[in-house]
């Protein structure tokens, strides 16, 4: 789809690709094995503007469009999906709701620090007993004096180990279900707030995922994001936008798996010739490329519709559903092409296979995506 990209969007692709190759590619394996977050690289991404892509220039961002953001996510994910996960959270799940729903004071207080990478953020919606059923969360925010007291636990929170600011959803009126959910901006130093254990994950091991605990955590009224009771709607709006980033991440993983497979097929010898000359391998590669190209068009279409101010909810869900499904399929085929070598950690496709799996789960499982697509068609 390069024919449809502007010169600026092509510039974003080249810049992100160059950074990913120079900074992320070589260390991605070590990050995965050591379960280490590339904090230095995230700082550099902040300096390049990639941690504030959707933030208006007024607040320290670069005001890029959604398609440029998708392109950057695709390129970073080709090299290191762990690092792109942190980038996705920062742009889609933390800055987006502040830009859309924050007060002028909140925007000026937090967006410049987030966009520059001085501060990192996290999005705290999921709980031990509340994942896809986000309206059933148990964390409460009780009105007390001129603020709120937060009590509860959050689970599977990306960036939690190093985040400075947390976008936290809690029930201000539990008896009202999803209509009683509100959103708060909680700083890491808030009393009564602690970050719990680090999860030992299958994939994206170079990212941080932890529990959060709130025990009588005081939050000033000025830290309420948006209106009281509007939190559930805000969460859904944020996730709608975020799915474009995750779809682009899945696309980048699939593209990397395809590239590794083509390279390996040209080099690997069997029965006296490169395995790329066997029809069985050629058919696999052809199917892989077809899926990757189709996913790219869906991702770019969703981003384009968002940029045009059109309803993109269904398109974002379709892109996320398809791109995440084919990421697993293409990574699986890549392992098959590599044979036994694809099953050992010396080869990149082993990591890609594991990294791809989460894209079908976070920011809305693919079963939820199907419900969204059907709802949009039948509305």
List active site positions: 363
Q: What is the largest CA-CA distance in the chain?
A: 79
CA–CA separation, 84 vs 311, rounded Å? 26
CA–CA separation, 284 vs 339, rounded Å? 13
CA–CA separation, 282 vs 93, rounded Å? 40
Residue 268's region, left for phi above 0, alpha for psi from -120 to 50, else beta, is beta
* 3-class secondary structure, 158: strand
First to last CA, the chain: 31
Q: Which is nearest to 163 in space by CA: 219, 123, 205?
A: 123
Q: Which is nearest to 212 in space by CA: 163, 171, 173, 177?
A: 163
Instruction: Spell out the alpha helix ranges (H) of the chain.
Output: 7-19, 28-34, 39-48, 66-79, 81-88, 96-101, 104-116, 231-267, 279-307, 313-338, 348-357, 366-378
Buried b / exposed e along 223-236 (16+ C-beta atoms within 10 A):
bbbbebbbbbbbbe
CA–CA separation, 334 vs 278, rounded Å? 15
Contact in structure between 319 and 295 (CB atoms under 8 Å):
yes
Q: 12 burial class (0-12, 13-18, 19+ CB within 10 angstroms)?
A: buried
Q: Which helix (H) or strand (E) is 273 found in, with range?
A: strand 273-274
> Beta 181-187 vs 193-198: how paired, if at all?
unpaired
- CB-hemisphere CA count at 13 Å for 11? 6
């Amino acid at each position: 789809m390069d024919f449809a990209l502007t010169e600026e969007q092509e510039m974003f692709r080249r810049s992100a690709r160059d950074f990913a190759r120079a900074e992320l590619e070589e260390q991605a394996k070590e990050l995965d094995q050591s379960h280490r977050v590339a904090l230095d690289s995230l700082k550099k991404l902040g300096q390049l503007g990639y941690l504030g892509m959707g933030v208006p220039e007024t607040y320290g961002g670069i005001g890029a469009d959604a398609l440029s953001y998708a392109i950057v996510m695709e390129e970073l994910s080709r090299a290191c999906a762990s690092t792109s996960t942190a980038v996705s959270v920062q742009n889609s799940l933390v800055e987006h709701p502040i830009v859309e729903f924050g007060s002028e004071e909140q925007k000026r207080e937090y967006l410049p620090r987030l966009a520059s990478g001085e501060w990192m953020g996290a999005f705290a919606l999921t709980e031990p007993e509340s994942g896809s059923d986000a309206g059933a969360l148990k964390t409460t925010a009780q009105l007390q004096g001129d603020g709120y007291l937060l009590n509860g636990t959050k689970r599977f929170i990306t960036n939690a180990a190093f985040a400075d600011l947390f976008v936290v959803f809690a029930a201000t009126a539990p008896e009202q279900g999803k209509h009683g959910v509100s959103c708060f901006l909680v700083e890491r130093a808030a009393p009564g707030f602690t970050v719990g254990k680090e999860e030992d994950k299958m994939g994206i091991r170079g990212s941080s995922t932890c529990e959060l605990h709130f025990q009588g955590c005081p939050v000033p009224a000025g830290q309420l994001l948006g209106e009281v009771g509007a939190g559930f709607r805000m969460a859904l709006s944020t996730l709608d936008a975020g799915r474009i980033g995750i779809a682009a991440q899945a696309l980048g993983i699939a593209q990397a798996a395809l590239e590794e497979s083509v390279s390996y097929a040209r080099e690997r010898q069997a029965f006296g010739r490169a395995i790329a000359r066997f029809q069985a391998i050629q058919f696999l590669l052809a199917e892989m490329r077809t899926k990757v190209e189709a996913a790219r068009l869906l991702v770019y279409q969703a981003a384009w519709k968002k940029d045009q101010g059109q309803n993109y909810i269904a398109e974002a869900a379709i892109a996320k559903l398809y791109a995440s499904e084919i990421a697993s399929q293409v990574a699986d085929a890549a392992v098959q092409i590599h044979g036994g070598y694809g099953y050992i950690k010396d080869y990149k496709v082993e990591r890609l296979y594991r990294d791809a799996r989460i894209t079908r789960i976070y920011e809305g499982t693919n079963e939820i995506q199907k419900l969204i697509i059907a709802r949009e068609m039948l509305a």
